[in-house]
A and B are shown apart, each in its own frame.
Chain A
Amino acid sequence: MAKVAVVGAGMTRFVRRAQETGRELAWQAARMALDSAGLTLKDVDAVVIGSAPDAFDGVHMKGEYLSDGSGAWHKPCIRCFVGGATGVFAPIQGWYHIASGQFDTVLVVCEEKMSSTYPHPQGAFITIFDHTTERALGPNLLWIFALEMNRYMTVHGITKEEIALVAVKNKKNALDHPCSQLQEEVTVEDVLNSELLAWPVNRLDVSPASDGAAAVVMCAEHVAKRVSERPVWVEGVGWHLDTAYWTNRDLYYPRYVEYAARMAYEMAGIREPRKEIHIVEPYDPFDYKELHHLEGLLLCKRGEAARLTADGVTQRDGDLPVCPSGGLLGVGNPIAAAGLMKVCELFWQLRGEAGKRQVPGTPRRGLAQAWGDLMQVGTVIILGV
């Protein structure tokens, strides 16, 4: 397989409601990614678009809608969609476009505009529940998160206080991100005292709904060496899907994330992930999900992620920095764009360009992970220099 590098990254600010249309946001991020790589649209051979449910933007065939702003005019283009896991799946798809030898340079663009949905973006999720056996009960999206969080807490004996530390950390990290939607430090008490939505989930346990876009430029080794002094290499990719009968799985552990991680570790030749991964950007739409995913990624034992957090190991200056970007909890959660933002963060961190967010030392390898569909998809990418 051909070696593949990331040579450019760009993103818009993540905001609750953007004036820009979805395609305008896509163009802003895509143009920035190309500019940062010193490339133009003429250099791009193919385009990958990632965007989560059409229902948010209220645009069917969103890939076609976003194509002009994503640079797909007169080019091979595909749109991928695996729910929340899309933002990391899109660069995986970019990777195999190039690794196959078919293309040299691929532009990967992810966008989401959740503010379009009224009365609330959560309404767009109603049909993820089975129309006949579940929807009649009047469910909402928070149910499955709350049910999973409760199961996770109960199996391991983890408290809400311990989980709230993740929200505190990520929202604090986000203060240093120029694109961050949230610019306010919170305490554990703030999280615990925020509005109770669906026990054990309070408002500040959850990332905000956002508008935004992110993009990366990926290319083959011979192009990367020509256009970039510091290419960041794709060392491993993995993705995995569990059964869609979500009530037939034990929600306390994300098995599918583990399988996706094992696939990526094997490709990257990683035997001891805890020692060989220097930065982690796990998917954190809810604070407990960061812990859940660290365990699935085999970066700690089951049930131990909360202790790592309490011990400060996952702080930006800790031994294993987790979500130094500020994550979805802090920077914001325009679904697909949020996942790709994590890949952008690794790109900037590994090149030493993350400014105030820069992880100390010389991190050489980072992992980004996203999760989605009906709590059943894991996507993992490992980048290194």
Chain B
Amino acid sequence: MSVNIKEWPGTALGSKDLEEGRVLTVRHRVRAEYAWDAGVAIGRYLRELKAGRLIARRCRGCDRILLPPRMFCEECFRPTDEWVYVQDTGTVNTFSVCYVRWDVARLTEPQLPAVIHVDGASPGMGIMHLLGEVRPEDVRIGMRVKAVWKQVEEREGAITDIRYWKPIAEEVG
């Protein structure tokens, strides 16, 4: 009975309460590190990245070319059928200009995360990546972009073997 309750519980603390030891606290860091297996589909995806190519999987059930690749189609719930190379060009579906890190520390140079729909994959098949060689104020949704790859010897089989995606000239018509 919200209107009938006079005292609401919960004791608010300020940061000084902790810093000056007015209330007792315990600090703990979990020492947990992980080694995640890339798996079959992403394992191949990473090897192809090292070779400077993007690869997807085709599902003959829905006739979609899926990116990132997966060994089963979550819509048809059946194994996907074949590997298909896709292009390293695409279209910006959405983007942000981000000034903070994961711990909310400020960045001096903003990052430009984007969802990029990759040419050759089915419509709507986007991946998350970064934009580069472009001023933040010039980025727009619908912009055409191309992957900028690391040098062959620098690649390690990771999504970061693509440094970022840069704008390319629009096709006329």
Contacts and interface: CB of A to CB of B under 8 A. Distances in A.
**CB–CB under 8 A between A and B in the complex?**
yes
B137 to A, nearest CB: 10
A200 B137 CA distance: 12
A11 B8 contact: yes
Contact of A249 (B17, B99, B111, B124): B124
A32 B5 CA distance: 9
Contact of A28 (B9, B113, B128): B9
Contacts of B102: 120, 122-123, 125-126, 138-141
A132 B96 contact: no
Given A13-B12, A20-B11, A58 B98 contact: no
A136 B126 contact: no
Interface of A: 9, 11-20, 25, 28-29, 32, 36, 58, 118-120, 122-123, 125-126, 129-134, 136-143, 146-148, 150-151, 154, 178-179, 196-201, 211-212, 243-245, 247-251, 344, 348, 351, 353-355, 357
B23 interface: yes
B100 interface: yes
Given A13-B10, A151-B141, A248-B124, A140 B94 contact: no
A131 B34 contact: yes
Contacts of A119: 103-105
Contacts of A136: 158-160
Given A28-B10, A199-B98, 7 more contacts: A138-B102, A140-B98, A143-B96, A151-B93, A198-B98, A353-B2, A357-B2
Interface in B103-117: 103-105, 110-111, 113-115
Give the interface residue-count category, chain B.
35 or more
A67 B105 CA distance: 36
Given A137-B128, A147-B115, A18 B13 contact: yes
B46 interface: yes
B59 to A, nearest CB: 12
A178 B8 contact: yes
Interface in B1-28: 1-5, 8-15, 17-18, 23, 27-28
